[in-house]
């Protein structure tokens, strides 16, 4: 057995600085734009191994095994989702169905701002609720680029939009993960998150359109934004507090989409915003083909259903695949669990991160049938057959998709290797303890700890599992509500989703703008920090000014 060390240098500040070297290196190299994302990830992975072995005293064989486990889990399930989403998108384009979808959306509105509300925010929230794990960004970014948005607009705005729904993603998986490590009822945690995020579900649509079109462009369509935000935020609160945390995103997104479409039948902006590039400097605009007027010729009923058919199939399949009962059934048919030798249960997480020495599991669960990516592949195959593709033609298109995504898959695997290694080596916990030492300011910085966790791991679920118990222990020591701070980890984490390297690579792949991850990161970084700080401010108010909002759930 090897026990994790959280202050290997005997100086908390110095240990924290050293622990931050891999992730800081990764972000700086990507943001510089001078190093390709896959090379930056490999360099950061090497540094993470050196830090884990020579500073945190992790045995070298454990460090290497942890890295390899991360590489494999980077492809299954994350890379597997991306690959099959892009495959579905490519066959819809090849069959001409995507062009029909463009016309269908144009029939609702040709205004680019309203298209963002409909696709990036509301439609993306549905896929976050149904499957999560990179699916919403991959799908919405691909749709936006197909609608003519610039690569930076499609990538960056999809990332900004995919924030408020994240805490309830994949049928409430982050909440369930948080409950598993804190011992707090998931219904109570879901309700507490539902008293934080609705404020941002209302704010984010305004923020999204302002980022795209500027203040005046946003004000010009404020009624539509208000309808979109309120029709998402109110159901989000009601469902999370009075029903359950599993169906929050699905219910809220469907209501939001329906309300926006109905509202646009009676209201349209005075002036249409037809430019598909960012209002400010947009370096990706030069890569766009000459813009073509959007065809808004009304579709026949057959054409409309033909355009929507692939996405209807995806929605149905994702709802099935996200269901816990289906996963249990699928895993009973096909499950391969591989406990990594000399790593699984050979590392102890110790106080103050855990209440008592707790072995860390290291199992590669190859639950192939229940993987979200497998559901996406099945949806793509069904769609391809219904659209008239022969098996040979689909195989050829899949081969082209693999070649397109190859470098991105390597990048995602390297980044997951970093996350797995830093978690098992205790490096992440060292960074978390630095936030936990902020005393009276802990409600604010504890929220940012959740943000950091998602930025590091790429997953709100992983961040909750990593830091959830630390949040609970620290809150109890400071006399704060453990429910409030555990929920704050998840709520703060949603704003880190837009800057985690994995999501950025997914976005760049979906928009075929690979190699420009630095541009995407620089664009979304300040948005991420600003929104995370606002969440931290709200949690601080809940802790000290309006404590009844946290106490009522106890």
**Are 105 and 398 in contact, with CB atoms under 8 Å apart?**
no
pLDDT digits (tens, 9 = 90+) for 130-142: 767 677 898 899 8
The confidence band for 400, taking pLDDT boundaries of 50, 70 and 90, is very high
Across 168-193, average pLDDT: 87
3-class DSSP state of 3: strand
**Are 45 and 421 in contact, with CB atoms under 8 Å apart?**
yes
Query: Which residues lie closer than 8 Å to 191 by C-beta, 6 or more apart?
Result: 240, 241, 245, 553
Lowest mean pLDDT of 39-48, 467-476, 522-531, name the range.
467-476
Question: What is the value of pTM for the model shown?
Answer: 0.82
pLDDT digits (tens, 9 = 90+) for 153-166: 999 999 999 998 99
User: How far is it, in rounded angstroms, from Cα 163 to Cα 531?
Assistant: 10
3-class DSSP state of 459: coil
Query: Which of 403, 401, 400, 479 is closest to 443 using CA atoms?
Result: 479
User: How far is it, in rounded angstroms, from Cα 124 to Cα 83?
Assistant: 18
pLDDT digits (tens, 9 = 90+) for 456-507: 777 888 788 778 878 887 888 788 999 999 999 999 999 999 998 778 988 8
3-class DSSP state of 188: helix
Q: What is the pLDDT of residue 549?
A: 63
User: How many Cα atoms are found within 13 Å in the side-chain-facing hemisphere of 304?
Assistant: 11
pLDDT surpassing 50 at residue 83: yes
Query: Which of 402, 411, 417, 434 is closest to 501 using CA atoms?
Result: 411
The confidence band for 432, taking pLDDT boundaries of 50, 70 and 90, is confident
Q: What is the mean pLDDT of the chain?
A: 89
pLDDT digits (tens, 9 = 90+) for 251-262: 999 999 999 999
The residue among 296 and 152 whose pLDDT is bigger is 152
pLDDT surpassing 80 at residue 403: yes
The residue among 459 and 56 whose pLDDT is bigger is 56
User: How far is it, in rounded angstroms, from Cα 236 to Cα 250?
Assistant: 9
Q: What is the pLDDT of residue 554?
A: 44
Buried b (16+ CB within 10 A) or exposed e, 211-236: bbbeeebbebbeebbebbbbbbbbbb
Across 180-204, average pLDDT: 92
Across 32-41, average pLDDT: 84
Name the most confidently modeled range: 68-72, 286-290, 406-410, 513-517. 68-72
* Cα torsion 275, 276, 280, 282: sign: negative
Lowest mean pLDDT of 154-158, 493-497, 511-515, 538-542, name the range.
511-515
Q: How many CB atoms lie within 10 A of CB 354?
A: 18
Across 109-129, average pLDDT: 92
pLDDT digits (tens, 9 = 90+) for 214-236: 999 999 999 999 999 999 999 99
**Are 249 and 289 in contact, with CB atoms under 8 Å apart?**
no
As a three-state string, the secondary structure of 290-356 is CCCCCCCCCCCHHHHHHHHHHHHHHHHHHHHHCCHHHHHHHHHHCCEEEECCCCCCCEEECCCCCCC
Query: Which of 441, 466, 470, 442 is closest to 455 using CA atoms?
Result: 466
User: How far is it, in rounded angstroms, from Cα 419 to Cα 456?
Assistant: 6
Q: What burial class does residue 332 get, using C-beta atoms within 10 Å of its C-beta: 0-12 exposed, 13-18 middle, 19+ buried?
A: exposed
User: How far is it, in rounded angstroms, from Cα 542 to Cα 475?
Assistant: 13
Whether cis (ω within 30° of 0) applies to the bond prior to 106 is no
Q: What is the pLDDT of residue 290?
A: 59
């Amino acid at each position: 057995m090897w026990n994790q060390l959280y202050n290997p240098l005997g100086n908390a500040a110095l240990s924290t600085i050293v622990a931050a070297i891999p992730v800081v290196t990764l972000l700086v190299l990507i943001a510089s734009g001078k190093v390709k994302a896959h090379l930056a990830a490999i360099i950061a992975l090497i540094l993470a191994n050196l830090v884990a072995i020579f500073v945190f005293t992790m045995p070298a064989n454990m460090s290497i095994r942890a890295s390899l486990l991360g590489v494999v889990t980077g492809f299954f399930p994350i890379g597997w989702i991306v690959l099959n989403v892009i495959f579905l998108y490519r066959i819809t384009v090849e069959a001409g169905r995507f062009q029909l979808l463009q016309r269908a959306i144009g029939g609702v509105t040709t205004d680019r701002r309203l298209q963002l509300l409909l696709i990036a925010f509301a439609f993306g929230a549905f896929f976050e609720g149904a499957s999560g794990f990179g699916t919403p960004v991959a799908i919405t970014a691909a749709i936006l680029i197909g609608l003519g948005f610039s690569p930076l607009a499609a990538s960056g705005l999809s990332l900004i939009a995919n924030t408020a729904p994240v805490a309830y993603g994949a049928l409430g998986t982050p909440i369930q993960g948080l409950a598993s490590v804190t011992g707090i009822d998931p219904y109570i945690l879901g309700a507490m998150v539902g008293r934080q995020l609705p404020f941002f579900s209302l704010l984010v649509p305004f923020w999204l359109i302002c980022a795209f079109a500027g203040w005046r462009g946003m004000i010009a369509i404020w009624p539509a934004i208000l309808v979109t935000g309120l029709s998402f935020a109110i159901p989000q609160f009601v469902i999370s507090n009075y029903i359950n945390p599993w169906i929050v995103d699905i219910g809220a997104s469907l209501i939001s989409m329906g309300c926006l479409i109905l509202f646009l039948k009676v209201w349209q902006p005075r002036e249409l915003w037809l430019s598909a590039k960012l209002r400010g400097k947009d370096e990706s605009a030069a890569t766009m083909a000459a813009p073509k007027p959007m065809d808004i010729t009304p579709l026949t009923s057959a054409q409309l259903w033909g355009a929507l058919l692939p996405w209807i199939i995806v929605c149905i399949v994702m709802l099935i695949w996200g269901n816990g009962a289906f996963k249990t059934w699928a895993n009973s048919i096909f499950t391969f669990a591989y406990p990594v030798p000399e790593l699984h249960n050979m590392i102890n997480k110790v106080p103050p991160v855990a209440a008592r020495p707790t072995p860390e599991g290291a199992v590669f669960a190859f639950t192939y049938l229940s993987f979200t990516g497998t559901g996406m592949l099945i949806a793509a195959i069904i769609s391809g057959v219904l659209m008239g593709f022969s098996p040979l033609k689909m195989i050829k298109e899949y081969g082209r998709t693999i070649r397109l995504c190859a470098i991105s898959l390597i990048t995602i695997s390297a980044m997951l290797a970093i996350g797995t290694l830093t978690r098992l080596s205790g490096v992440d916990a060292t960074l978390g303890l630095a936030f936990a030492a902020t005393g009276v300011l802990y409600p604010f910085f504890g929220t940012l700890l959740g943000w950091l966790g998602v930025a590091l791991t790429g997953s709100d679920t992983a961040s909750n599992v990593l830091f959830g118990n630390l949040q609970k222990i620290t809150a109890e020591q400071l006399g704060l509500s453990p429910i409030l701070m555990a929920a704050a980890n998840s709520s703060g984490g949603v704003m880190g989703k837009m800057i985690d390297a994995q999501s950025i690579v997914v976005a760049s792949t979906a928009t075929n703008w690979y190699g420009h991850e630095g541009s995407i990161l620089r664009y979304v970084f300040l948005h991420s920090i600003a929104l995370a700080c606002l969440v931290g401010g709200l949690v601080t108010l809940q802790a000290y000014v309006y404590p009844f909002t946290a106490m009522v759930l106890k």
